[in-house]
Structure 1
Amino acid sequence: MANIATQRIQRELNEVAKFDEAQKKAISIEIVNGSLLEFIGKIAGPPDTPYEGGIFNLEIKIPPSYPFNPPKMRFITKIWHPNISSVTGAICLDILKDQWAAAMTIRTVLLSLQALLAAAEPDDPQDAVVARQYKEDHELFVQTAKHWTLVYARPDSDKEKWSNLDFDAKIAKLREVMGCDEHQARVALSSNNWDLDRATQSML
């Protein structure tokens, strides 16, 4: 069975390189450790979304039963999105579960994930905290998602131009008060709608 999987993957890799998305660097796949069962996928954040300009890396593991069972995928790059865990990178997407079909490919999954970044489904969340913010204070969600994209997914050269000074100041203050690292402060503030008092309480 594993032999079927590796043959199929080799064909898929050749196909991905031919498509326009690869030429435009919208999606790409890289082999890890010379194995045809382990990859790093990359997707570009779609235009006109909080993820624009970001490059998001995904861990892709191919089961020996592929293509009859879906690949296992999770985001390695941290991201603020209702359908992706801000903690583990786990993804809520039906084609990675019970809606998978053997005719699908890694390319179609990466394109579906790119579409998910452009059109979240907050009523079927992977991360309930993010989904609540998305529905209750959408503008704050957009600003938070942009901030996470800036910090975790954009090239260093962009950082000064796109930074949110208010968020940066609150992160610095929470780190000073709680003695935590930058990421812990960012998570606490993001999860508490950037309310410094509530974020502090959540860390006690």
Structure 2
Amino acid sequence: MANIATQRIQRELNEVAKFDEAQKKAISIEMVNGSLLDLIGKITGPPDTPYEGGIFNLEIKIPSTYPFNPPKMRFTTKIWHPNISSVTGAICLDILQDQWAAALTIRTVLLSLQALLAAAEPDDPQDAVVAKQYKENHELFVQTAKHWTSVYARPENDKEKWSNHDFDAKIAKLREVMGCDEHQARVALSSNNWDLDRATQSML
């Protein structure tokens, strides 16, 4: 079975290189340590979304039963999105679960994930905290998602113009008060709608 999986993945890797998205660097797939069953996928954030300009990495594990069973994927770049866990990077997407079909490919999954970044489904969330913010305070959700994209997914030379000085100041204050690291402070504030008092309480 593993033989079928590796043959299929080799064919997919060859095909991906021919598509426009790969030429434009919108999506890419590469092997880890020469293994066809252990891949890294990259997608760029779609235009006119809070993820624009970000490059998001995904861990892709190919089961020996591929393509009859779906690949296991998760985001390794931290992201603020209702259908992706802000903690583990786990993804809620039907084609990675019960709607998988052998005709689907890694490329079609990566394109579906790009579409998910452009059109979240907060009523079927992977991250309930993010989904709640998305539905109840959408503008703050957009600002938070942009902030996470700027910090975790944008190239180093592009971060400054996207920084949010109000958020940065609150993160610095919370770190000072609680003695936590920057990411812990960011998570606490993001999860509490950037209310410094509530974020502090959540960490006690």
Task: Compute the TM-score of the two structures, normalised by the length of structure 1.
Answer: 1.00
For residue 103 of structure 1, report the CA deviation from its aligned partner: 0.1
Secondary structure in structure 2 of the residue aligned to 1:74 = strand
Deviations 1:141-193 (A, max 9, x none): 00000000000000111111111000000000000000000000000000000
Deviations 1:31-71 (A, max 9, x none): 00110000000000000000000000000000000000000
Deviations 1:48-99 (A, max 9, x none): 0000000000000000000000000000000000000000000000000000
Within 2, Cα distance between the matches of 1:109 and 1:103?
Answer: 11
Within 2, Cα distance between the matches of 1:24 and 1:125?
Answer: 30
Matched with 2:22 is: 22
Secondary structure in structure 2 of the residue aligned to 1:18 = coil
How many residues are paired up?
204
Matched with 2:81 is: 81
Within 2, Cα distance between the matches of 1:92 and 1:15?
Answer: 26
Within 1, Cα distance between the matches of 2:68 and 2:176?
Answer: 51
Matched with 2:140 is: 140
Correspondence list, 1:103-142, <5 A: 103-142=103-142
Within 2, Cα distance between the matches of 1:171 and 1:157?
Answer: 21
Within 1, Cα distance between the matches of 2:5 and 2:30?
Answer: 17
Correspondence list, 1:45-124, <5 A: 45-124=45-124
Moved more, 49-58 or 152-161: 152-161
Note the residue ranges of structure 2 that are not aligned, 5 or more in a row: none
Identity of aligned residues (%): 93
CA-based RMSD of the aligned residues comes to 0.3
For residue 200 of structure 1, report the CA deviation from its aligned partner: 0.1
Deviations 1:94-123 (A, max 9, x none): 000000000000000000000000000000
Secondary structure in structure 1 of the residue aligned to 2:25 = coil
Task: Compute the TM-score of the two structures, normalised by the length of structure 2.
Answer: 1.00
Moved over 2 A (4+): none
